[in-house]
Structure 1
């Protein structure tokens, strides 16, 4: 008896699985490069580095091998933040593959995921301090005044709040978060963080309940992490909390360039209890609420876009 066989189509998941390992190689390399010279890290594990090269994540110039320019950073903390951001996303993907529910948002994730995501935000704090604040008229001078105030919405483990407190030694930083559990982690982090932590106040608060009037010189709002109804309620309250002439900076996602990334971004946002606002929609909303002088600050290629606007 003969057995009939039919040609089988290539398995697309094989490429996806290989890409997952390439991402793992990148994360491990970035993490090690936070404390060691990049050339030493690449030379120490030739097999891992071969994966990076095959994936186009590393490249040769003669006998010199280095990472793709998108993954070369100025200092160790930036390498560490980049690694932790990607590790957090990978952990979330593993949770989704295991069938774990994501509908309750960040409360679904364990402490390690929250720490990884939070520590990655330190890189955003440094970008705010070194790139965004100096480019916004009058803001650096405001934050140099004793008693100036910054609001960090969704402070998480307070890594971004700490980066801002360190960068602006005259400013008081208020970090709010709706999750008491993550604020417990924040207190643990700040307990060993040095004197800048003394100027950080943590509050257990829903951003939609902010009622301050003309208090803050700078407000940081990571929009993708908020459910859309909450974001809609929060925006006018946060604008009222700004002093006249002060600035709101909103972290947004860029519009994905292809269908796969667009679909993944939508799934990930919904799983984490967020929304699908992108930089364009955010800019339109800020204009509607009467803010002026909108500016955009791209971060890494394909990464968040920071949208800044000033209260008249």
Structure 2
């Protein structure tokens, strides 16, 4: 996205450009949300001024009167689109909170301080990652699909939040049981409400208030999911040996990570956002090194959507 307005007199104003970019993002998210229930061409025609913002931002062009949207505005399917909208809304809400409430010294506030709406939006956005994990990653990891197609198949969902990823996994993998752990009771309370709307899989999902650094279930799981950016670096360091032991021999650990940033601004924003939320700044490259250093092998990477999470998988030998 490139929006570079200039104030009267023609001198560049970086703050004005950033403010315009925020509005351009709002236009994109609003368009994506409306397009979940109506054809995109109708959505664009219904709000021509908003569409003009998209065009100025490089997200929309015209060919003979026909709108041509950037691929990022056109999700592959409805569930992916809903997750993308939830993720962008969560990001916008967190940015507003950071502007209004950033503590002195720039320290983090953590997930315990955000409101329920942000927790729900962020959590629901993870459903897309769950579907990608189940449908794109699992079939590519040797032996894992067969393991997860057995009556005793078990998955550990670290940092389950409102359980959206757990629900997505349970729906896509109909024989697995999912254990979701989190340190935030309020998130688990919200998860109970979400499971009430997912009765088709709720009986295969168990929620547990637990610190990942205290997991002690050797050989308990065929697949362990770790949302790496959301864990403090110290917690991740303490937890990783326990998570490796929690894998059954031959099992896989998959970590969700941020892609390596392509520019200094994105890199700085990623680091700030991670630290604000009590997480760490490891990207996919660093996470691959960490997993290999923990004794896991056959490290593989799976991009999801452009600019979105990169799933890094690693294998426990044996089995």
Same fold (TM over 0.5): yes
The answer to whether the Cα contact below 8 Å between 1:146 and 1:170 also exists between their aligned partners in 2 is yes
Alpha-carbon distance in structure 2 between the residues aligned to 1:197 and 1:38 = 34
Out of 9, 21, 24, which is 1:22 matched to? 24
Distance 1:24 1:166 in 2: 32
CA-to-partner distance for each residue in 1:47-103, whole Å, 9 max, x for gaps?
Answer: 111111110112223332132113322211111111111111111110111134462
Pairwise CA distance, 1:228: 0.4
| Aligned-partner Cα distance in 2 for 1:76–1:44 | 21
Query: Where in structure 2 are the equivalents of 1:292-311 lying within 5 Å?
Result: 292-311=297-316
For the pair 1:178 / 2:180, whether they are aligned, the reply is no
The whole-number CA distance in structure 1 between the counterparts of 2:41 and 2:147 is 41
The aligned counterpart of 2:196 is: 191
Q: Give the C-alpha shift of residue 37 in structure 1.
A: 2.1
CA RMSD of aligned residues (A): 1.4
Matched, 1:144 2:146: no
The answer to whether the Cα contact below 8 Å between 1:42 and 1:66 also exists between their aligned partners in 2 is: no
Distance in 2 (CA, whole Å) between partners of 1:8 and 1:301 is: 34
Note the C-alpha offset of 1:104: 3.3
Asked if the contact 1:220–1:249 (Cα under 8 Å) also holds between the matched residues in 2, the reply is yes
2:236 aligned to 221, 231, 240, which one? 231
**Distance (whole Å) between structure 2 residues aligned to residue 38 and residue 138 of structure 1:** 41
Give the Cα separation in 2 of the matches to 1:223 and 1:267.
Answer: 15
TM-score, normalising length: structure 1: 0.95
For normalisation by structure 2, the TM-score amounts to 0.93
Distance 1:136 1:41 in 2: 40
1:86 match: 88
Task: State whether structure 2 residue 265 is matched by structure 1 residue 260.
Answer: yes
User: How many aligned positions are there?
Assistant: 306
The correspondence of residues 1-312 of structure 1 with structure 2, limited to 5 A, is 9-101=11-103, 103-312=108-317
Could you tell me which runs of 5 or more consecutive residues in structure 1 were left unpaired when the two chains were aligned.
1-6
Deviating beyond 6 angstroms after TM superposition, the runs of 4 or more aligned structure 1 residues are none
Matches of 2:259 and 2:282 in 1, distance apart? Answer: 9
The answer as to whether partners of 1:34 and 1:78 remain within 8 angstroms in 2 is no
Q: How far does residue 30 in structure 1 lie from its aligned partner after superposition?
A: 1.2
